[in-house]
Structure 1
Amino acid sequence: MDSPTGSIRRPGPPLLKRERYVYTYNLLAPGTPLQFLISVEPLTGKYSQGRYTFQLSFKTNGIERNLCEPIVFTLHVDPRSLDFAVFIFPGKSSIPVGSLYSLRVWLRVNGIDHRLFSDDELWVGKDLDFHSIADASFVRLKSVDSKSQVYHGFAGRALVTFTCRWHHLSDNLYNYSLDYEANGVGANLFEDLQLRIDGDPRAVTFLIYCVPISSIPAGSSHRIRVWLKSLVNLSASTPSALPFHDSYIYQRIWKSDNFKIGARLDFEAMSNKTIMGFSAGAPVTVETSVPLPLPRTPQRDIGASSHFVPEKAQRGYQ
């Protein structure tokens, strides 16, 4: 149909429809309902015998995130009628107690079992006792706006600001990142953490803490842990749903045992054989010349050129 200006409105390119099949398995860890979703997607985008991508995600208390790496299997059976064995068991000793599990996911087809996913670092729990962690230094939430949360805390004697930012991707999918800054210098800790959140992303907060590690110089090395913290919506029928009682579910999303930062570190006390360097003065400014990219030459519209002779006329065709 012609538009009011006389131009023809052309339809956009056709959308490629893809399909995938999502299997859901529920289980109950001590006091914590967990949900595992297994996505089975054909590489061709449509149902057929052939190669399929299996992907695992984990959901608790309205927050979903991916676990493990996707894996590809060739299926000669109906992908819409698969059976899985999904189970967890307590991991090795953990602090806080009762927060670590091992996860296994197997595909069961015609009497044969194929292991798909394995994770020995599933950290999750309800109302965990973080104060049992010796020498832990916890950050405090200072401010929240529509796209970020700011936390203040100490790593050793260094005051550190942690800023968590999120970006809305689609529907209830958000991309999270975490940066730190101390007295004008900072860096990124992680980025591209994608979470599906049922509700307001501002309601999801973070529990961040540092634990000192024996190091030289003293106070220069720390373990850092980052957990998601979400409030459990207790119903009136729940026995523990008292007006003054808040219950939270935690899940660990990131860790590092190599967080190097400190304040007023005594480098000269490291060893009596230490030889310290000294400054040679102000920095030297070095300038380099980088060629600018050439502007793209606009292509002439050959068909609109008045002096261009059509190909048939050039060859003597009329």
Structure 2
Amino acid sequence: MSEISPIDTSISRRPSRPLPRHHERYLYTYRLLAGATPLQFIISVEPESGRPRAGNYTFRLSFRANGIERPLAEPIIRKLKVDPRQLEFVVFVFPGKSSLPAGCLWSLRVWLRVNSIDHRLFGEDELWVGKDPDFNSIGDASFARLKNVDAKEQVYHAYVGKALVSFIVRWTKASNGTYKYSLEYEANGVGAILFEDLNLKLDGDPRTVTFLIYSVPTTSMPVGASHRLRVWLRSLVPLNASDPSTSYVLPFNDSYIYQRIWKSDAFKVGARLDFESLGSKMVMGFSSGSPVTITTNQPGMDSSPSPRSAYEDKSRAFDF
């Protein structure tokens, strides 16, 4: 009778993988009514350690209106020795300086209150938002018209001075419900990126968010060479289904929430500019002929300027 070999009971063990680290952050939401516009402010409190213990915390502020959420201000870091899940904030807005359109400019303040001591976290003096502003009150404004919409971009045409300019808004999906927006302009074969880092979190289809783009001429030599450029996003206010009067609302009575997202006070584009008007002391250069072509084995270092950001540092007009 043949001998039966014993069963090998040893088990090959694979190296165990570390469990995913549990990381927490805490969201506080505050609501208010600015004029006729409902607003929400979301404060994110994120511990460096990932757990609610004493240490460094990153505070982030975002702003939400009519189903669109976007970041405000730069993140800041504070040390906490208190429970981050039981914080109290003081959030308020007050009207800014006189503005066009009227009733859209607000100053925002966010304070952290702990054990009766207040610490200011965020201050913003150029929060532009409003319901159905009167843009017709802006004298000499030239408004862009929406010409084309597809799955990933919108194209607007406008006359900036005498120059026909195309403004192209593009977006890519960054994560669930969040899109990264960019804006560039093109005029007769030449263009540039105006910004490319605007993050919007949307409740719906990004194609339903449209933009209001306009320019206003400023004093310049030659005339028509410099303009103020403003970019607002707009979103349709949904109708209240429980209100019987909404069944009679016509398309031209639609209501929108507008938010200003970018500006330039020196947009330099013109057409048929009269440089001779600079006067007799101006010395005009002349061309030396066709360009010289230089060929290298390796491309040179990229010295192109960085695209402009949608988020700009603002000077503080108030100390509180």
Give your verdict on TM over 0.5.
Answer: yes
Match of 1:155 among 160, 172, 193: 160
What amino acid is the match of 1:134? G
Higher mean C-alpha displacement, 115-124 vs 13-22: 13-22
Query: Which ranges of 4 or more aligned residues in structure 1 deviate by more than 6 Å?
Result: 8-13
Q: Deviations over 1:13-49 (max 9, x none)?
A: 7533321000000001111100000000001122211
Aligned residue runs from structure 1 range 3-82, under 5 A: 14-82=19-87
Please report how far the alpha carbon of residue 161 of structure 1 lies from its aligned counterpart in structure 2 after TM superposition: 0.4
Aligned residue for 1:187? 192
Change over 3 Å in CA distance of 1:203–1:13 after alignment to 2? farther
Change over 3 Å in CA distance of 1:63–1:289 after alignment to 2? same
Alignment partner of 1:259 is 2:297 = no
TM-score between both structures, scaled by the size of structure 2 = 0.85
Aligned residue for 1:306? none
Q: Deviations over 1:68-117 (max 9, x none)?
A: 11111111110000001000000000100000000000101111011110
Change over 3 Å in CA distance of 1:155–1:10 after alignment to 2? farther
What amino acid is the match of 2:233? L
Aligned residue for 1:222? 227
Q: Which has the larger radius of gyration?
A: 1
Structure 1 counterpart SS, 2:193: strand
Aligned residue for 1:315? none
Alignment partner of 1:177 is 2:185 = no
Aligned residue for 2:249? 243
What amino acid is the match of 2:272? R
**Structure 2, unaligned runs of 5 or more:** 1-12, 300-320
Partner Cα distance (2:243, 2:79) in 1: 46
| Identity within the alignment, % | 65
Partner Cα distance (1:121, 1:134) in 2: 21
TM-score between both structures, scaled by the size of structure 1 = 0.86
Q: Deviations over 1:124-172 (max 9, x none)?
A: 0000000100000000001111111000001100000000000001100
Please report how far the alpha carbon of residue 192 of structure 1 lies from its aligned counterpart in structure 2 after TM superposition: 1.1
Change over 3 Å in CA distance of 1:273–1:196 after alignment to 2? same
Structure 2 counterpart SS, 1:131: helix
Aligned residue for 1:208? 213
Change over 3 Å in CA distance of 1:136–1:82 after alignment to 2? same
Partner Cα distance (2:210, 2:139) in 1: 23
Structure 2 counterpart SS, 1:269: helix
Between 1 and 2, higher relative CO (CA 8 Å, sep ≥ 6) is seen in: 2
Alignment partner of 1:279 is 2:284 = no
Q: Deviations over 1:259-295 (max 9, x none)?
A: 000001011111111111111111111112229xxxx
Change over 3 Å in CA distance of 1:9–1:154 after alignment to 2? farther
Please report how far the alpha carbon of residue 239 of structure 1 lies from its aligned counterpart in structure 2 after TM superposition: 7.8
Q: Deviations over 1:187-240 (max 9, x none)?
A: 000011101000000000000000000100100000000001000002134587
Change over 3 Å in CA distance of 1:27–1:282 after alignment to 2? same
Aligned residue for 1:301? none
Partner Cα distance (1:137, 1:10) in 2: 67
Aligned residue for 2:107? 102
RMSD over aligned Cα atoms: 1.8
Structure 2 counterpart SS, 1:80: helix
Aligned residue for 1:308? none
Aligned residue for 2:9? none
Change over 3 Å in CA distance of 1:112–1:129 after alignment to 2? same
Structure 1 counterpart SS, 2:276: helix
Higher mean C-alpha displacement, 281-290 vs 134-143: 281-290
Change over 3 Å in CA distance of 1:170–1:284 after alignment to 2? same
Change over 3 Å in CA distance of 1:189–1:10 after alignment to 2? farther
Change over 3 Å in CA distance of 1:9–1:261 after alignment to 2? farther
